[in-house]
Amino acid sequence: MAGSLTGEERRTCLLILGVLALCALGIAVPGRWDPIGVHGLMVVLLCAGAAGYLLLRLNVPEPSPEELSGYYDAPIKVGVGLTMAWAIFGMFVGVWVAAQLAWPDLTFHQAWSSFGRLRPAHTTGVIFGFGGNALITTSYHVVQRTSRAPLADRVSPWFVLFGFNLFCLLAVTGYAMGLTQSKEYAEPEWYADIWLVIVWVTYFVLFLRTLARRKEPHIYVANWYYLAFIVVVAILHIVNNLAVPITLASAKSYTVWPGVQDAMVQWWYGHNAVAFFLTAGFLAMMYYYLPKRADRPIFSYRLSILSFWGITFFYMWAGSHHLHYTALPHWVQTLGMSFSVMLLVPSWASAGNALMTMRGAWHKLRDDATLRFMVVAAVFYGLSTFEGSFMAIRAVNSLSHYTDWTVGHVHAGALGWVALITFGSLYTLVPSVWKRQSMYSNALVELHFWLALSGTLIYIFAMWNSGVIQGLMWRTYTENNALAYSFVDSLVAMYPYYIARTVGGFLFLLGAIVGSINIWLTVRRSPASQAAPGVYDRPHDLDPTPNAAE
Amino acid sequence: MNFEHETLVAFSKSWGLFYLIGMAIVVVVYTFWPGNKKKFDHAKRAVLRKEDRP
């Protein structure tokens, strides 16, 4: 890692660490009687550790001129490791909270392990930890390859990667201490939010500067999706997290948004987090890694542009469908509902574009589990966007809202689409970046695929059943116009589904562990690719002599 | 200016509609502009190149 930086760059890193440590000290000392002090101390220690690592390696030889002029892949390699580590952490906590719903004693009567604290640790771990690291890592890879230009500099990629992981760490440790600003998917408190703004603006500038150095005349559509992801997440994050801390020595803050405006801003943020964090960037992966792996150009480039602008403009208005039957003005609810239904068009255009890319190459799915990951992800993308549009209709929402159906829908998207496309992309990226012939074991990729798919199916079928039963029980009236079931009656009816959901999640977690082991073995043991260095950019998992098979 | 709920609703229901239609037209024209075809065809094939140096 340090060996990929020049001496001057290593000194710049030390300077940044020093400034950050001073800032952290500035909140650790006055905030020593508050959880914010714990976080301040944590950041000081992390900076000291990183500085120690660099200081011990100041004399490591600098990279050669040839390395300096090539693609900068060192942060991608670290990013892959962080992605898989957060996947295992986030999914483990997910299985744990799922099990708590069936067996409440699994909190072990500790405050930090109560459902209310572990649940955001799960969502932050998988969405930001796993998903965010996957997005940053693949964006570094895709922007360099499609622009035929190396990253614009060699310090800011590390700043963005580690800065983002520091944010995730502040978030998760904060929950354990009971810190939250009570906004779903935006729980971290004000100081972590400010830190993320700095990191995110750096990311945006790095991405733009890299694109500006491109040797291709046209910016490939995958980069548009990454840019939309970076720009819109910055806007959403800043607006939704506008808050005033009670003092600078306290973690506690209050939002500037009042009442129903707060609800609207929160769900404008929340739904666009789904759109631009969990969709746009992953579509970018799909538009690069799927054609690459299938060795077929995307079916229609024009369609990819139309669906890009469709998704970008429509999603912005869909958030209010989270607030049907609330104090939000009726017409705003209707607006959100209409745009959600319209979203089906660009969403299915993207999913269809991916599937049509496979024309004439469907036989490759039989043997190539990596490609199958991505194609099944596109199918789940199509299914869950249809389901989302459907559930946004007010009448359907009256049945589905507040039930497990919502949870099932989210996981159809998160497991079936986001995680599967990520694993498919990583299995394409890893042999390419580490210059290996193939993944260490195709059998393990195959095993991961079936664990992930069966886990997802068990999970979402359990939640569909559970959600619809819940919704129906809550709206069943007796002849005397009284509710037929108490809330606890519906809870008892959920018990078998909660157990099934835990099993499904556990299978998915097992798959992620298998995938991590396989990636580790690929890095350590897989033979290097045979092609001469410098002319090779394609994993040949199944077919060491690709031309012979064509 | 009287900036009330009704004003905002009127604005959203009129201009909100027109600018979205306007943007949609711009995007469709850009996508199907004949001069862009060559650029798009090159872009969609260029990602399949196999070299690994900038």
Count how many pairs of residues, chain A against chain B, have C-beta atoms within 8 Å: 83
| Closest partner CB to A295 (pick from B42, B48, B51) | B48
* CA A372 – CA A516 distance, rounded (Å): 18
Quick check: A550 pLDDT over 80? Answer: no
Across the range A506-525, mean pLDDT stands at: 97
Residues in chain B closer than 8 A to A328 (CB atoms): none
Share of chain A above pLDDT 90, in %: 93
pLDDT tens per residue across span A260-282: 999 999 999 999 999 999 999 99
| Interface list for A 383-412 with B (CB within 8 A) | none
Tokens 């801390």 belong to: A245
For residue A293, the chain B residue with the least C-alpha distance is B48
Residues in chain A closer than 8 A to B52 (CB atoms): 70-71, 432, 533-537
Q: How many CB atoms lie within 10 A of CB A245?
A: 15
Whether chain B has a CB inside 8 Å of the CB on A536: the answer is: yes
Across the range B12-17, mean pLDDT stands at: 83
| Closest partner CB to A534 (pick from B45, B46, B53) | B53
Residues in chain A closer than 8 A to B35 (CB atoms): none
Tokens 């035929």 belong to: A148
* CA A483 – CA A470 distance, rounded (Å): 13
Across the range A364-382, mean pLDDT stands at: 97
pLDDT tens per residue across span A395-445: 999 999 999 999 999 999 999 999 999 999 999 999 999 999 999 999 999
Across the range A474-498, mean pLDDT stands at: 95
| Closest partner CB to B54 (pick from A149, A302, A309) | A149
Whether chain B has a CB inside 8 Å of the CB on A103: the answer is: no
Q: By the 8 A CB rule, do A412 and A360 touch?
A: no
Q: In degrees, to the nearest 5, what angle opens at C-alpha A385 toward C-alphas A379 and A387?
A: 105
Residue B2: its pLDDT value, please? 66
Largest CA distance in chain A: 84
Phi, psi dihedrals of residue A403, rounded to the nearest 5°? -105, 175
Across the range A61-86, mean pLDDT stands at: 95
Whether chain B has a CB inside 8 Å of the CB on A298: the answer is: yes
Whether chain B has a CB inside 8 Å of the CB on A354: the answer is: no
Quick check: A501 pLDDT over 80? Answer: yes
The encoded tokens of residue A279 equal 């969709």
The pLDDT mean for chain A works out to 94
pLDDT range class, residue A293, cuts 50, 70, 90: very high
- How close A308 comes to chain B (CA, Å)? 10
Quick check: A546 pLDDT over 70? Answer: no
Q: Do B44 and A144 touch (CB under 8 A)?
A: no
The encoded tokens of residue A163 equal 């800065």
Whether chain A has a CB inside 8 Å of the CB on B38: the answer is: no
Quick check: A533 pLDDT over 60? Answer: no
Quick check: A534 pLDDT over 60? Answer: no
Residues in chain B closer than 8 A to A291 (CB atoms): 44, 47-48
HSE toward the beta carbon, residue A241, CA cutoff 13 A: 22
pLDDT range class, residue A233, cuts 50, 70, 90: very high
Residue A531: its pLDDT value, please? 58
Tokens 């209050």 belong to: A254
Rg (CA), chain A: 24
Residue A548: its pLDDT value, please? 37
* CA A426 – CA A428 distance, rounded (Å): 5
Whether chain A has a CB inside 8 Å of the CB on B9: the answer is: yes
| Closest partner CB to B53 (pick from A70, A329, A331) | A70
Whether chain B has a CB inside 8 Å of the CB on A299: the answer is: no
Residue A536: its pLDDT value, please? 40
Quick check: A545 pLDDT over 50? Answer: no
For residue A299, the chain B residue with the least C-alpha distance is B44
Q: By the 8 A CB rule, do A91 and A512 touch?
A: yes
* CA A164 – CA A169 distance, rounded (Å): 9
For residue A539, the chain B residue with the least C-alpha distance is B50
Whether chain B has a CB inside 8 Å of the CB on A53: the answer is: no
* CA A163 – CA A188 distance, rounded (Å): 15
Across the range A20-33, mean pLDDT stands at: 95
Whether chain B has a CB inside 8 Å of the CB on A149: the answer is: yes
Whether chain A has a CB inside 8 Å of the CB on B54: the answer is: yes
- How close B3 comes to chain A (CA, Å)? 16
Cα A284 versus chain centre, distance: 13
